[in-house]
Amino acid sequence: MLMKDGMNSRLLLDCAKSCILASSPVFRRQQFLIRCVGGSIDHQPHSRNMQALRSIEVDSESLIRAITPALDPTRHKGQAGNIAVIGGCREYTGAPYFAAISALKIGADLSHVFCTKDAAPVIKSYSPELIVHPILEESYSVGDENKRSVSSKVLAEVDKWMERFDCLVIGPGLGRDPFLLDCVSEIMRHARQSNIPIVIDGDGLFLVTNNLDLVSGYPLAVLTPNVNEYKRLVQKVLSSEVDNVDAPQELLSLAKQIGGVTILRKGNSDLISDGDTVKSVSIYGSPRRCGGQGDILSGSVAVFLSWARQHILTADSNSNLSCKNPTVLGCIAGSAILRKAASLAFLNKNRSTVTGDIIECLGKSLEGISPAS
| 307 and 348 Cβ atoms separated by less than 8 Å | no
The answer to the question of whether 285 is labelled as a binding residue is yes
286 known ligand binder = yes
Q: Which tens digits make up the pLDDT trace of 310-337?
A: 999 887 655 678 888 999 999 999 999 9
- Lowest mean pLDDT segment, chosen from 12-16, 241-245, 264-268: 12-16
Q: What is the pLDDT of residue 48?
A: 53
What is the DSSP-derived secondary structure letter of residue 141? G
H/E stretch holding 279 reads: strand 278-281
Known binding residue 244? Answer is no
Instruction: Tell me the pLDDT tens digit for each residue of 264-295.
Output: 999 999 999 999 999 999 999 999 999 999 99
229 is in an annotated binding site: yes
Asked whether residue 295 is marked as a ligand-binding residue, the answer is yes
The CATH number of the domain where 110 resides is what?
A: 3.40.1190.20
Task: Tell me whether residue 238 is in a domain.
Answer: yes
Side chain identity, residue 298: S
What percent of the chain shows pLDDT beyond 70? 84
Would you say residue 22 lies in a domain? no
pLDDT tens sequence across 80-94:
999 999 999 999 999
Is 266 annotated to bind a ligand? Reply is: yes
* Residue 55 predicted with pLDDT over 80: no
Q: From residue 321, how far is each of 318, 325, 338 by CA, in Å?
A: 9, 10, 21
Q: What pLDDT, on a 0 to 100 scale, did the predictor assign at position 72?
A: 87
Q: What is the distance between the alpha carbons of residues 266 and 145, in angstroms, rounded to a whole number?
A: 42
pLDDT higher than 50, residue 112 = yes
Q: Does 260 show up as a binding residue in the annotation?
A: no
- Annotated ligand binding at 92? The verdict is no
Residue 348 covered by a domain: yes
- Residue 268, annotated ligand binder? yes
| For residue 338, pLDDT beyond 90 | yes
Band of pLDDT at residue 17, cut at 50, 70 and 90: very low
Please report whether residue 250 resides in a domain.
Answer: yes
Establish if 202 belongs to a structural domain.
yes
Count of structural domains within the chain: 1
CA distances from residue 10 to 14, 19, 24 in whole angstroms, order as listed: 6, 14, 21
49 is in an annotated binding site: no
Distance CA 209, CA 27 (A): 44
Q: Has 363 been labeled as part of a binding site?
A: no
Average pLDDT over residues 222-235: 97
**Residues 159, 340: Cα–Cα separation, whole Å:** 36
Q: Which 3 state secondary structure label does DSSP give 110?
A: strand
Distances (CA, A) of 54 to 265, 269, 341, 342: 16, 10, 22, 22
Does position 300 have pLDDT exceeding 70, yes or no? yes
CB 238 within 8 A of CB 212: no
Single-letter amino acid code for the residue at 96: P
Whether 269 contacts 247, CB under 8 Å: no
148 belongs to an annotated ligand binding site: no
289 is an annotated ligand-binding site residue? yes
Whether residue 4 lies inside any domain: the answer is no
- Known binding residue 126? Answer is no
Residues 130-146: tens digit of each pLDDT: 999 999 999 999 999 99
AA identity, residue 12: L
Query: Average pLDDT in the 114-133 region?
Result: 97
Residue 294 annotated in ligand binding: yes
What predicted TM-score, i.e. pTM, was given to this entire model?
Answer: 0.85
| 231 labeled part of a ligand binding site | yes
pLDDT at 30 over 70: no
In a domain, 15, yes or no: no
Would you say 29 is a known binding-site residue?
A: no
Distance CA 268, CA 49 (A): 12
Distance CA 127, CA 300 (A): 18
Question: Is residue 351 part of an annotated ligand binding site?
Answer: no
Q: What is the pLDDT of residue 177?
A: 97
Q: Which residues pair with 113 in a beta bridge?
A: 85, 132
284 is in an annotated binding site: no
Consult the annotation and say whether 173 binds a ligand.
yes
- Domain range holding 154? 57-369
Measured at the alpha carbon of residue 282, what is the angle toward residues 277 and 285, in degrees to the nearest 5? 140
What's at 203, amino acid-wise? D
Q: pLDDT band at residue 43, thresholds of 50, 70 and 90?
A: very low
Q: Per the annotation, does 228 bind a ligand?
A: yes
d(CA 203, CA 118): 18
Distance between CA atoms of residues 288 and 53, nearest Å: 23
Does 20 map to a domain?
A: no
